[in-house]
């Protein structure tokens, strides 16, 4: 992003955070979690496949981030809905 806008990386991160009120990594993780919610609601895909489709390299890290975001595991969320 920074090179395309011809600004420094630091300036890019500062501008991004001022606009979205979160870092690019936080924004990306929030987007991935919203994708995960959709997959869990609308498909019967295995959790491993959902984690890969959402851009996570391992199902265990996906589960950890999901629980951190929503207070329950993906399996618990799917059972709840």
Domains of the chain (ranges, CATH numbers): 24-80 (1.10.10.60)
Q: What is the rounded distance in angstroms from the CA atom of residue 40 to the CA atom of residue 50?
A: 8
Question: What pLDDT, on the 0 to 100 scale, is given for residue 2?
Answer: 76
pLDDT digits (tens, 9 = 90+) for 27-74: 999 999 999 999 999 999 999 999 999 999 999 999 999 999 999 999
Question: What pLDDT, on the 0 to 100 scale, is given for residue 7?
Answer: 85
**Among 45, 76, 79, CA closest to 63:** 76
Distances (CA, A) of 45 to 21, 56, 70, 72, 79: 33, 15, 20, 18, 14
Q: Model's pTM, two decimal places?
A: 0.82
């Amino acid at each position: 992003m920074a090179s395309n806008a011809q600004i420094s990386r630091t300036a890019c991160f500062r501008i991004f955070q001022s606009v979205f009120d979160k870092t690019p990594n936080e924004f990306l993780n929030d987007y991935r979690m919203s994708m995960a919610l959709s997959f869990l609601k609308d498909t019967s895909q295995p959790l491993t496949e959902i984690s890969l489709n959402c851009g996570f390299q391992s199902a265990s890290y996906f589960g950890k981030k999901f629980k951190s975001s929503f207070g329950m595991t993906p399996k618990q969320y799917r059972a709840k809905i």
